[in-house]
């Protein structure tokens, strides 16, 4: 049984986000620390303010649900949230959508793998949009030096 570690993390409100949030599976999450993502998954355990979910590539993820209304949820859900690492990696859910009680997780994994395969990841699906926006903002603020 996995220990609930989301209670030890920050409960500060997240900044509003309405931009692009790439669909990911568990093994891709570490690439998106500090970014908003969309995570299709199966609910394994529903706790008071958190969930333990299983991604389509069989990775367990802790999800804080303190900012989300809308129970009851179906067996499969899609979570929009910010992936954080404050000593413990977890997803802070900002929106959740029911996906029913039956989902072809192999097909979902295949679709996500295609989304993140180059050149489609950059040219079509723009999965790096949040990273690019952060780099541009840092340049605009002068907090990053450009090599000459």
Tens of pLDDT, residue by residue over 40-84, are 999 999 988 999 999 999 999 999 999 998 778 999 999 999 999
Q: Where are the domains of the chain?
A: 19-141
pLDDT value at 88 more than 90: no
What are the residues facing 62 on neighbouring strands?
52
What's the half-sphere exposure (Cβ side, CA atoms, 13 Å) at 9? 23
pTM equals 0.80
pLDDT value at 16 more than 90: no
Distances (CA, A) of 64 to 90, 95, 113, 138, 143: 7, 11, 25, 29, 31
- CATH number 2.40.50.140 is the correct assignment for the domain at 19-141: yes
């Amino acid at each position: 049984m996995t220990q609930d570690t989301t209670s030890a993390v920050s409960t500060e409100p997240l900044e509003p986000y309405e931009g692009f949030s790439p669909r990911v599976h568990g093994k891709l999450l570490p690439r998106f620390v500090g970014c908003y993502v969309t995570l299709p998954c199966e609910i394994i355990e529903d706790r008071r303010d958190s969930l333990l979910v299983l991604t389509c590539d069989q990775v367990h993820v802790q999800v804080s649900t303190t900012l989300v209304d809308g129970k009851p949820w179906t067996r499969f859900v899609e979570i929009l949230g910010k992936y954080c690492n404050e000593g413990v990696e977890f997803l802070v859910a900002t929106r959740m959508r029911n996906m029913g009680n039956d989902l072809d997780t192999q097909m979902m994994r295949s679709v996500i793998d295609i989304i993140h395969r180059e050149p489609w990841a950059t040219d079509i699906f723009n999965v790096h949009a949040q990273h690019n926006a952060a780099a541009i903002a840092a340049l605009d603020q002068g907090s990053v030096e450009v090599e000459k």
